[in-house]
């Protein structure tokens, strides 16, 4: 009995080896190897986009911090020009994102780079407001995200010269809206700085501008991205603080020394805002 079992073992081992050799050439195994390669390639691209987005976020934040100095320097144009140079560097980073997305479905990788794009929109719109006292449009932002890249046979590219093509990156409407919503917090901080430097005109300009942005977001309602409803509450807080400051300046501005206006303003909370008001 044991001998027969012993004789059968080499045969079973041979059969198992034959099965393994058959599996290696199986069309199912070959198909799964192709799927594995595709998933690995997509994962690697996702990780690269996340890293580029972090760089875009960091440089955009540095640009915003730089722009807040315009209220405390004698020559604001120097700060604005330096901010433009920084934003040019950020746009080159976004060009790397466009390069990674060439021939790909943008929505498959959108979550990988949307934080950086929102931060860039916030920085670009902040600079645009300081220069022109108005909100930059989505079309104006996208018009600046045009890059020259070596041709790779992309069907969507327009070839202006031999060996080069125009590569564009389109900011989505949702990223634009979320970036503008974050802008309101920077405008509120700009209002505090302006009051601290004795500028009593800028808070009233900012108040009017923030009301217009708030009205625009109110028209969107529940039809916009989910994140807008959360950021709308922060927007209302910023607007309430600026309006509270304008009220204090108008009613008690002549009673409070200019060097104390910023302390009075920053110490006032947004108590007039209902905490549940941000729920849409």
CATH number for the domain harbouring residue 93: 1.20.58.190
Domain total in the chain: 2
What integer pLDDT is reported at residue 98 of this predicted model?
A: 94
Q: Is residue 15 part of a domain?
A: no
Q: The sheet that has 158-161: what strands, in order across it?
A: 146-149, 164-168, 158-161
Closest alpha carbon to 146 in 206, 190, 92: 92
CA–chain centroid gap for 7, Å, is 70
Residue 244 sits in which domain range? 172-280
60: confidence class by pLDDT, cuts 50, 70, 90 = very high
What integer pLDDT is reported at residue 253 of this predicted model?
A: 62
Q: Quick one: 195 and 147 in the same domain?
A: no
pTM: 0.78
**209 in Cβ contact with 262 (< 8 Å):** no
Q: Quick one: 266 and 195 in the same domain?
A: yes
Q: Quick one: 135 and 188 in the same domain?
A: no
**78 in Cβ contact with 62 (< 8 Å):** no
Which segment, 54-58, 105-109, 267-271, is predicted with the most confidence on average?
54-58
pLDDT at 163 over 90: no
pLDDT at 279 over 60: no
**151 in Cβ contact with 165 (< 8 Å):** yes
Picking from 143, 170, 197, the residue at the C-terminal end of a domain is: 170
Of residues 117 and 226, more confidently modeled: 117
Question: How far apart, in whole angstroms, are the C-alpha atoms of residue 61 and residue 55?
Answer: 10
Closest alpha carbon to 232 in 210, 244, 214: 214
């Amino acid at each position: 009995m044991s001998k027969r079992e012993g004789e059968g073992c080499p045969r079973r081992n041979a059969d198992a080896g034959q099965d393994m050799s058959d599996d290696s050439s199986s069309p199912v195994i070959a198909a799964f190897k192709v799927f594995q390669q595709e998933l690995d390639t997509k994962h690697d691209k996702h990780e690269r986009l996340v890293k580029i987005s972090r760089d875009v976020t960091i440089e955009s934040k540095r640009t915003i911090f730089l722009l807040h100095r315009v209220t405390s320097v004698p020559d604001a144009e120097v700060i604005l020009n330096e901010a433009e140079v920084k934003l040019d560097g950020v746009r080159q980073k976004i060009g790397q994102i466009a390069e990674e997305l060439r021939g790909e479905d943008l929505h498959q990788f959108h979550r990988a780079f949307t934080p950086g794009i929102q931060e860039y929109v916030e920085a670009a719109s902040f600079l645009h407001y300081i220069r022109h006292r108005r909100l930059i449009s989505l079309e104006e932002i996208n018009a600046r995200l045009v890059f020259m890249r070596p041709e790779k046979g992309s069907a969507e590219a327009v070839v202006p010269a031999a060996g080069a093509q125009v590569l564009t990156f389109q900011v989505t409407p949702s990223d634009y809206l979320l970036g503008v919503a974050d802008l309101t917090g920077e405008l509120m901080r700009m209002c505090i700085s302006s009051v601290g430097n004795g500028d009593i005109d800028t808070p009233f300009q900012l108040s009017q501008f923030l009301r217009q942005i708030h009205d625009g977001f109110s028209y969107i309602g529940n039809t916009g991205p989910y994140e807008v409803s959360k950021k709308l509450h922060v927007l209302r807080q910023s607007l309430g603080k600026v309006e509270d400051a304008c009220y204090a300046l108008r009613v008690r501005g002549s009673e409070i020394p200019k060097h104390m206006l910023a302390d009075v303003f920053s110490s006032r909370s947004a108590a007039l805002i209902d905490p549940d008001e941000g729920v849409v």
